[in-house]
Structure 1
């Protein structure tokens, strides 16, 4: 691209599409001038609580306030490596649209949840945790529960619903996870994990990497989500426990040139390109999201890190590479289990190419609702929280599980 073309693109910003690739929000434009100050959980949730199940298990949960009218509980299950804070912006959006209460959980081994055997991430163990937590929170009368799960959390949601641990599940939405494509992607998952930096010098530094690497494409979401994914190397506490940051640490990003990552967002992609603003490459994950076969293991390069060991202050909360033995169990039989659930099902994908054969046949038979949200990455609900909230709200209203909180016009998806 010539300098003239680049200049034209910089000065011809298209209309804002929240969380999309074209027309970034004002907050994203601020991020280009080092605005990576983390935000607090309390900006999105009414309360947080550490729920003690027994001597071996204490689970962190986040809840929105009770709805003005009766509505379902949206039980939100995050993907591998994330935390309950991944749902922050989605919760704000959906509680504006419908009467419901959101309940976001830090799963075993993630976030501020503390358990023995944190490395046991088998489907059965995670499903048992969720069931015990629900029974602890609602010992007398379990309200209607609608499951929403992303990636690993989507697979666990299906497994949980299939085992029928509780009887009040009214429906399920699975976000960007499909058995066939997930199983195919497992071979490259370890290479992807090795490509990530092992440490960060500060919380804003981690947020900046999250955006520039393309892990999350919505800077506002990264500011609240990323601190829930890293811990202080000295205290071993989640980074969220250090917020709010002192002013002298709040603007501690790193120059873009210090990150070299195969999935980083180029300036051309940020501003739009000849493809209508769509990215020229996309990530390969164990989720079934949009992939690019040209990216093999030889393309992965670990981002550069500070030479000073004292600057390696934060690292990942969970070492996902150690969970490899459970990956096959998460996804095996997932499509059939999803189709055979006796509650309304919805599937949200980042790419139409994500469907496997089983789900393709099921979709043609009208056995579930599907929606593809373009111009977003694997973390669909973080990149485009408003659109995801609208799609799920429409599904809930259409099935008479919830009432609109105000005037809401939703057009049924075409696929």
Structure 2
């Protein structure tokens, strides 16, 4: 026996297992509080209702962030922390109507025109109050809304769209209902929901899932967002959760069945061109230890919004998006998770130098959650180059060789 093999053999008998010395820490699914990332929350009153926002900073241009369908302003938490460290700016993360804590005269009207006017009203109110300019940043559905609203905001100086283009978005709509049916309808606890978000693939960044997911679900008893249950947060210890990803969710049933991993059917496969709504890569549900469940072990949380009921608006969100994006007069940047997402119009426009393109590979649809540092750096460089704001001391300006200006 070689000296190395003998050493391993001896150590394994002394400790029971050599690999125990190098064991990987278990993931922590405890929720994180929004005030670790934002300074305050407030409501902007307009003629249509109260629009909820999270705010970071008090000086400089306003970066108004618009989330995708099903998310809320907390999806921008990690991005906010990163970009605020780079730039002299204010970050405002808006909850769309029907999402988060925004309340309007008709929360079910999610048409492009209505959502765009909500953004215009909020942006103009903030610009007038703060006497500053606006930069719109939108992800998925929020990107489409940002493009539409950009034509009606006089103080707008920049536009950033994240992982949505017209052609691929419209192509993906046919599979949306199948994807949504694969998601759990209820969760037994907040850590249970966070674990599904992370292990199910909606977010590939655990910290992002811990702060973002509580803003997407509500307590079924109180109707309040999970992110507001701070007293509950302080009592949760989810570091001990360690559940294998081999449990399959049964629609409208919280029971679990252990199954072998198997290829998805044709209708369950995730489109390569990234669907425009939140999704998971696996149909999964995870069992939380009994001390993490409510007393009867039944469902306690459900989604803030039923995305399947928004289907009448899907086509309207994305139809004509490429033409509107190219026609916008302010400097534009498009951040994609896949270079193959470009449709014909955008490919021609990019070759003509009409907008800046950046591709971040090895990321999911929620690019700003998966790689917040990289997205913040790209946008920071973009805004400084366009003279929209100034760098904070210590922020360097690295060059991206595949950036097209």
TM-score range, shorter chain: 0.7 to 0.9
Q: Do residues 59 (structure 1) and 51 (structure 2) align?
A: yes
Secondary structure at 1:363's aligned position in 2?
helix
Paired residues of 1:289 and 1:351 also in contact (CA < 8 A):
no
Paired residues of 2:192 and 2:287 also in contact (CA < 8 A):
no
Secondary structure at 1:256's aligned position in 2?
coil
Paired residues of 2:43 and 2:53 also in contact (CA < 8 A):
yes
Aligned pairs for 1:281-300 within 5 A: 285-287=274-276
Residue 237 of structure 2 is aligned with which of 235, 242, 250? 250
Secondary structure at 2:83's aligned position in 1?
helix
Paired residues of 2:63 and 2:89 also in contact (CA < 8 A):
yes
Matched with 1:154 is: 143
* Pair 1:254–1:198, CA change in 2 (3 A): farther
Paired residues of 1:146 and 1:169 also in contact (CA < 8 A):
yes
Matched with 1:48 is: 41
Matched with 1:102 is: 91
* Pair 1:290–1:133, CA change in 2 (3 A): closer
Deviation of residue 243 (structure 1)?
Answer: 1.9
Alpha-carbon distance in 2 for matches of 1:285, 1:119: 25
| TM-score (structure 1 length as normaliser) | 0.79
How many pairs were matched up? 354
Matched with 2:256 is: none
Aligned pairs for 1:206-285 within 5 A: 206-245=193-232, 248-251=235-238, 253=241, 255-257=243-245, 259-260=247-248, 285=274
Deviation of residue 139 (structure 1)?
Answer: 4.0
Alpha-carbon distance in 1 for matches of 2:89, 2:212: 22
Alpha-carbon distance in 1 for matches of 2:339, 2:307: 27
Deviation of residue 366 (structure 1)?
Answer: 0.8
Q: Do residues 390 (structure 1) and 377 (structure 2) align?
A: yes
Residue 73 of structure 2 is aligned with which of 84, 94, 98? 84
* Pair 1:187–1:246, CA change in 2 (3 A): closer
Secondary structure at 2:209's aligned position in 1?
helix
* Pair 1:390–1:257, CA change in 2 (3 A): closer
Matched with 1:350 is: 337
| TM-score (structure 2 length as normaliser) | 0.81
Deviation of residue 166 (structure 1)?
Answer: 2.1
Deviations 1:288-338 (A, max 9, x none): 9999xxx9xxxx756477999742100000001111111111100000110
Paired residues of 1:288 and 1:354 also in contact (CA < 8 A):
no
* Pair 1:316–1:401, CA change in 2 (3 A): same
Alpha-carbon distance in 1 for matches of 2:217, 2:66: 18
Alpha-carbon distance in 2 for matches of 1:224, 1:179: 29
Deviation of residue 59 (structure 1)?
Answer: 1.4
* Pair 1:42–1:304, CA change in 2 (3 A): closer
* Pair 1:78–1:53, CA change in 2 (3 A): same
Residue 335 of structure 1 is aligned with which of 322, 333, 345? 322
Alpha-carbon distance in 1 for matches of 2:176, 2:313: 13
Deviations 1:94-126 (A, max 9, x none): 011111110110111001111232111111101
Matched with 1:119 is: 108
Alpha-carbon distance in 2 for matches of 1:230, 1:96: 29
Alpha-carbon distance in 1 for matches of 2:214, 2:88: 29
Matched with 2:253 is: none
Deviation of residue 173 (structure 1)?
Answer: 0.5
Matched with 2:265 is: none
Deviation of residue 349 (structure 1)?
Answer: 0.3
For the aligned residues, what is the CA RMSD? 2.7
Q: Do residues 197 (structure 1) and 184 (structure 2) align?
A: yes
Deviation of residue 131 (structure 1)?
Answer: 1.7
Paired residues of 2:273 and 2:338 also in contact (CA < 8 A):
no
* Pair 1:190–1:413, CA change in 2 (3 A): farther
Secondary structure at 1:60's aligned position in 2?
strand
